[in-house]
Amino acid sequence: ILKAKYLRAWISYEGLQRIETFPVPEAALREAVLNAVVHKDYASGIPIQVSVYPDKLMIWNPGELPPNWTVEKLLDKHASQPFNPDVANVFFRAGMIESWGRGIERIMQACTEAGVPTPEVSCDVNGLWMSFHFLPEHQAGGSHEMVGKTTQEQLGEKLGEKLGENRQHMLETMRADPRVSIVALAQYLGMSSTAIENNIRWLKDHGLIRRVGPAKGGYWEVLK
């Protein structure tokens, strides 16, 4: 679902053959999700969260590192110490875990072989984050610097300045994904749903977007 619905492929050609390159290699994404499931703290009752933004994909796992472990030790070669040994054993017997203690190594290797940035790993009291940052060609509308310049050029300098960075990013996200929801926009841009709705009203009032169809099943049309 992540590949088919939320990740945009970079299209290239070798002769007549079309090649689709995704911002996160499938092997790395599969291993990262599997790791999150195996190491999740199920007593917390909080689901694993996967957030897809125009320039990155983040996986949050409500778990914790083993005692006396650091992120540096996690990224180095280490013995397997799953948070949920029984869950890990099920995946191992199903053939989804090929060798113990190599999950992070396999993720890094897959990214390196694909020529994309290796993910950043961070840990706090709430859980573990793994962040995959996209190359510029994989980002929705390009890099943030190019997004702002292109939008201002299209709208004119005065309106572009009045538009502001958040609304510029909203327009580029709507262009890249016309069916994006208000909730998804809020997650992408780190804003509240109310702020997104207020900005949508502003964009409509200034003739920059319109909604085609109902709230569910409709899509955004960027007019300028």
Q: What is the pLDDT of residue 5?
A: 62
Q: What is the pLDDT of residue 45?
A: 82
Whole-number Å distance between alpha carbons of 147 and 150: 5
Whole-number Å distance between alpha carbons of 50 and 24: 13
Q: What is the pLDDT of residue 145?
A: 35
Q: What is the pLDDT of residue 146?
A: 34
CATH topology of domain 23-138: Heat Shock Protein 90 (3.30.565)
Residue 203's contacts (CB-CB under 8 Å, 6 or more residues apart) are: 167, 170, 171, 209
Q: What is the pLDDT of residue 15?
A: 65
- Examine the pLDDT at 98 and tell me if it is beyond 90: no
pLDDT band at 150 (very low <50, low <70, confident <90, very high): very low
Selected residue with higher pLDDT from 102 and 114: 114
The helix/strand/coil state of 67 is: coil
- Examine the pLDDT at 163 and tell me if it is beyond 70: no
pLDDT band at 119 (very low <50, low <70, confident <90, very high): very high
How many residues are given for the chain?
224
- Please report, to the nearest 10 degrees, the dihedral formed by the alpha carbons of residues 3, 9, 13, 19 taken in order: -10
Selected residue with higher pLDDT from 31 and 187: 31
The helix/strand/coil state of 220 is: strand
Residue 26's CB: how many other CB atoms inside 10 A? 13
- Examine the pLDDT at 54 and tell me if it is beyond 70: yes
Q: 75-92: per-residue pLDDT in tens?
A: 777 777 777 788 888 888
Percent of the chain with pLDDT over 90: 17
Q: For residue 110, what are its two tokens?
A: 């897959």
CATH topology of domain 144-222: Arc Repressor Mutant, subunit A (1.10.10)
C-alpha angle 17/21/27, rounded to 5°? 120
| Cβ contacts of 175-184, under 8 Å, gap ≥ 24 | 175/141, 175/222, 176/8, 176/54, 176/140, 176/141, 177/140, 178/219, 178/220, 178/221, 178/222, 179/218, 179/219, 179/220, 180/220
The one-letter amino acid at 132: F
The full set of domain ranges for the chain reads: 23-138, 144-222
Q: What is the pLDDT of residue 191?
A: 82
Q: What is the pLDDT of residue 140?
A: 58
